[in-house]
Amino acid sequence: MNAAHAVEARGLAKHFGALKAVDGVTFDIAAGEIFGILGPNGSGKTTTIRMLCGLLTPTAGTATVAGSDVTTHPDRVKSAIGYMSQAFGLYGDLTAEENLRFYGGVYGLDRDLGARIAWAEDRMKLAELGGRLSAQLSGGQRQRLALGCSLLHRPQVLFLDEPTAGVDPAARRLFWTIIRGLADEGTTIIVTTHYMDEAERFDRLAFLSRGTLTAYGTPTEVKRTFGENMTLEDIFVQLQGSEA
Amino acid sequence: MNRGRLRAIVWKEFVQMRRDRATLGMMLGVPVMQLVLFGFAIRQEVRHLPTTVFDVSRTQESRLFVDRLIATGNFDLVAPSPDYAGAIRAIDTGRARAAIVIPEDYARRLKRNEPAHVQVLVDATDPTASQSAIGAAQLVGQATSVEILARRAGATVDPGATPLDVRVRPLYNPALKSVLFIVPGIIGMILSNILIVITAMAIVRERESGTLEQLIVTPLTRGEIMLGKIMPYVGVGLVQLTAVLVVGYFMFGVHVRGSVALIYLMALLFIIASLGLGLFISTLVTRQAAAIQVSFFFLLPNVLLSGFMFPREAMPKAAAWIGLLLPLTHFLQIMRGIVLKGVGIASLWPQMLALAGFSAAFITFAALRFHKSLE
């Protein structure tokens, strides 16, 4: 395998009975890249991510994440990745700091747990908020806390599933600044979204439609595939239209 | 199993438990409250029935017989009735629960060596409540008959010299106090009901809030998640057990005759079985409301079929068989055995095996289902 690729998917497929949720997708994601997976609801985005995280066993095909095969070594994959879901996965009745402490413990941090919590609070702009119950935080603060929780163990690959749903624009901008900083430091970031304005922030992206890859490349390349004057939004609408 | 990861999840459960005052109150307050309620309210032996007398005979003999009935402690005199209809009306209205009716010829027939008649009417709407009064009336009747026969034969009456002397000695609970029977039962009842509901809720809540999905992407194994969620509640169960034993001792004088250590050991098995059942329920449902409903499905048979309130010996075969499928049934036998009889493991091993079997089965079912339900 190519050591430079943080993620490699080869003919990855997941069928639920007759439903082909993902039907043979192939792509590579380079280390330190921000990679977007776009597509309408039901296009197979989440299923693809869940396979890459080792949550679902592929029906066919293979995938390696951070150098480990997701089917044969899901445990290694889990230690090497961070995952932030749409629901954020925070405990509302724990304080921000307790959430960090819990996830740090779950990822096996021990002696450097305190230092990593301090790092997360500083980097995610959560200082002063450590003692607040996470249920009392704003949407943006909760989002950054969830991001902090998923980064404590220094994952090589970070999965963000619809990360900015329901977060105000200022908080979104701050969030993307943090994400860009992480990518510059070498963390590979994989994002699913259906916000088109965010697609321009991706280094490369993949359009999924009915479980297959319909476009794949840099934003510029993708635009070229569909026609020079198309914006990503036009492409998205066109793909969604063909779905209906 | 990774110690650090397990510690993290157990720590988190305790922090959440401490913060959730309502549940904490329910876990610790409800057992003691139920014990006090049941302990004071449930009296299966009913004595001191308000009793009216319609004595037409009005003789020394008839008064003696009434006095004897009253001396048993089962009948307390209320205003006498002027006629038979009045006695019936007293019971109808609830002013009296029993009536003693002695006919006009009572003393005369006794003197003539003819059979005399006495009627004791008992309100038996509640069969359990009327039983001891009925028994007492029959006993007094028999004893008086023996005495009269003896006198006719010219002998003096010496109860020790009756031809057949049956002496009943109630073992284990000589005062026949139901509270001694109830308290060990309550322990099992509370442990199973509260623990089943709480575990079922604890997991479903994580599913609802999306944190369960988050846990699955971490290196936590399914076994660690299950064990980490269960372990704190094992502690809760043991605290509840201690609270009920202590309150039972000081408030109701329930002494443990057998080994306290054995109680804890058996309770541990029972707690694991209950938690396993709760865990299993949590894999069947996705909403907390549904978790409570399914839990209640198990709670009713627990009250009715386990022998907690109604003797299993009196049940139809089918009901008794179903009762055997409840861990509580076996645990009650164990608790009553240890607390009241003071017996040890030598006589309790069949029940212990049953509990161990339930624990293993529930945990296995839960583990299999849990695995699937996360996909």
Binary contact (A92, B209; C-beta < 8 A): yes
- The residue of B218, B221, B371, B372 whose CB has the most chain A CBs within 10 angstroms, and thus the best one to mutate to test that interface, is B218
Domain boundaries, chain B: 3-42+177-373, 49-161
**Dihedral sign (CA A130, A133, A135, A137):** negative
CB-based contact, A93 to chain B, within 8 Å = yes
Average pLDDT, chain A: 89
Q: How confident is the model at residue A224 (pLDDT cuts 50, 70, 90)?
A: confident
Show residues of chain B in contact with A54, CB under 8 Å: 217
β-strands B75-77, B49-55: how paired?
parallel
Question: Bridge partners of A136?
Answer: none
Q: Does domain B49-161 have CATH number 3.50.50.60?
A: no
For the cut 60, the answer to whether the pLDDT of residue B114 exceeds it is: yes
The pLDDT of residue B372: 65
The pLDDT of residue B158: 63
CB-based contact, A241 to chain B, within 8 Å = no
CA-to-CA dists, residue A202 to A186, A191, A215, angstroms: 15, 9, 14
Q: At what angle do helices B222-252 and B21-41 cross, to 10 degrees?
A: 40
Find all residues with CB under 8 Å of B149, minimum gap 6, and list them. none
Question: Bridge partners of A30?
Answer: A5
Show residues of chain B in contact with A105, CB under 8 Å: 4-5, 7-9, 11
The pLDDT of residue B288: 86
Give me the interface pTM, i.e. the ipTM: 0.89
Average pLDDT, chain B: 87
Q: Average the pLDDT over each of A5-14, A35-44, A111-120, B83-92 and give the range with the smallest value.
A: A35-44
Q: How confident is the model at residue B157 (pLDDT cuts 50, 70, 90)?
A: low
Question: Bridge partners of B339?
Answer: none
For the cut 80, the answer to whether the pLDDT of residue B140 exceeds it is: yes
Q: How confident is the model at residue A1 (pLDDT cuts 50, 70, 90)?
A: very low
The set of long-range contacts for B366-372, using a CB threshold of 8 Å and a minimum separation of 24, is B366/B226, B366/B276, B366/B279, B366/B280, B366/B282, B366/B283, B367/B222, B367/B223, B367/B226, B369/B280, B369/B283, B369/B284, B370/B222, B370/B225, B370/B226, B370/B279, B370/B282, B370/B283, B371/B222, B372/B283
More confident: B372 or B134: B134
CB-based contact, B311 to chain A, within 8 Å = no
CB-based contact, A78 to chain B, within 8 Å = yes
For the cut 50, the answer to whether the pLDDT of residue B190 exceeds it is: yes
CB-based contact, A103 to chain B, within 8 Å = yes
The pLDDT of residue B80: 92
Determine the Cα–Cα distance for residues A47 and A236; give it in Å rounded to an integer. 19
CB-based contact, B216 to chain A, within 8 Å = yes
Q: What would the mean pLDDT of B74-93 be, rounded to a whole number? A: 91
Structure tokens at B261: 């250590």
For the cut 50, the answer to whether the pLDDT of residue A244 exceeds it is: no
Show residues of chain A in contact with B7, CB under 8 Å: 105
Instruction: Please provide the DSSP assignment of B222-268 as one string.
Output: HHHHHHHHHHHHHHHHHHHHHHHHHHHHHHH-----S-HHHHHHHHH
Show residues of chain B in contact with A136, CB under 8 Å: none
Q: How confident is the model at residue B156 (pLDDT cuts 50, 70, 90)?
A: low
Of A75, A89, A92, the CB nearest to B214: A89
Residue of B nearest to A110 (CA): B4
CB-based contact, A59 to chain B, within 8 Å = no
Q: How confident is the model at residue A105 (pLDDT cuts 50, 70, 90)?
A: very high
CB-based contact, A104 to chain B, within 8 Å = yes
Angle at B101 between CA B98 and CA B107, to 5 degrees: 145
Of B12, B210, B213, the CB nearest to A102: B12
The pLDDT of residue A30: 94
Q: How confident is the model at residue A2 (pLDDT cuts 50, 70, 90)?
A: very low
The pLDDT of residue B161: 62
Q: What percent of chain B has pLDDT over 90?
A: 38
Q: What percent of chain B has pLDDT over 70?
A: 94
Q: How confident is the model at residue B283 (pLDDT cuts 50, 70, 90)?
A: confident
Q: Rounded to a whole number, what is the distance in Å from the CA of B241 to chain A's nearest CA?
A: 27
Show residues of chain B in contact with A88, CB under 8 Å: 210
Per-residue burial over A52-68, b if 16 or more Cβ lie within 10 Å, else e, is bbbbbebbebebbbbbb
CB-based contact, A160 to chain B, within 8 Å = no
Binary contact (A108, B20; C-beta < 8 A): no
The pLDDT of residue B155: 67
Give the count of Cβ contacts less than 8 A between chain A and B: 71
User: What residue ranges define each of the domains in chain A, with the CATH number in brackets?
Assistant: 5-243 (3.40.50.300)
